[in-house]
């Protein structure tokens, strides 16, 4: 896989996440992607006034859902985690959204 495929796959996954969040409703607040850190990324999402962070740790092969402990969101507590394959976390996105749906 060449270096251009990873970012492309990442942003396709972000489109999937945004599309799946739309009917909740949930607002994406911020996003960061780092190709040099094994493709790791995180995005903050607000749902019913609660701020969450979805984190893909590319090195550990794990996606985590975290909830802000206070406002502003500077400290996070783990809510749940999922192992991820080499798909950039795309397979775990429906599980993250299902968890946010019950908030």
Tell me how far apart the alpha carbons of residues 10 and 26 are, in angstroms, rounded to a whole number: 20
Range of the domain at 63: 5-101
Query: How distant, in Å, are the alpha carbons of 3, 4, 5, 51 from that of 47?
Result: 34, 33, 31, 7
Query: pLDDT tens digits for 42-93?
Result: 999 999 999 999 999 988 999 999 999 987 778 999 999 999 877 777 788 9
| pTM exceeding 0.85 | yes
- CB count in 10 Å sphere of residue 20: 17
Tell me which of 3 and 84 has the higher pLDDT: 84
Cα 53 to the center of its chain, rounded Å? 7
Residues in the chain: 103
Tell me how far apart the alpha carbons of residues 42 and 96 are, in angstroms, rounded to a whole number: 13
Cβ pair 18, 27 in contact under 8 A: no
The number of domains in the chain is: 1
């Amino acid at each position: 896989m060449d270096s251009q495929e990873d970012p492309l796959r990442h942003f396709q996954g972000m489109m999937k996440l945004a599309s799946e969040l739309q009917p909740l409703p949930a607002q994406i607040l911020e996003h960061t992607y780092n190709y040099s850190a094994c493709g790791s990324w995180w995005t903050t999402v607000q749902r019913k006034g609660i701020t969450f962070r979805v984190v893909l740790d590319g090195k550990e092969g794990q996606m985590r859902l975290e909830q802000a402990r206070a406002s502003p969101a500077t400290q996070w507590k783990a809510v749940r985690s999922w192992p991820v394959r080499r798909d950039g976390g795309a397979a775990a996105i429906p599980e993250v959204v299902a968890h946010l749906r019950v908030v």
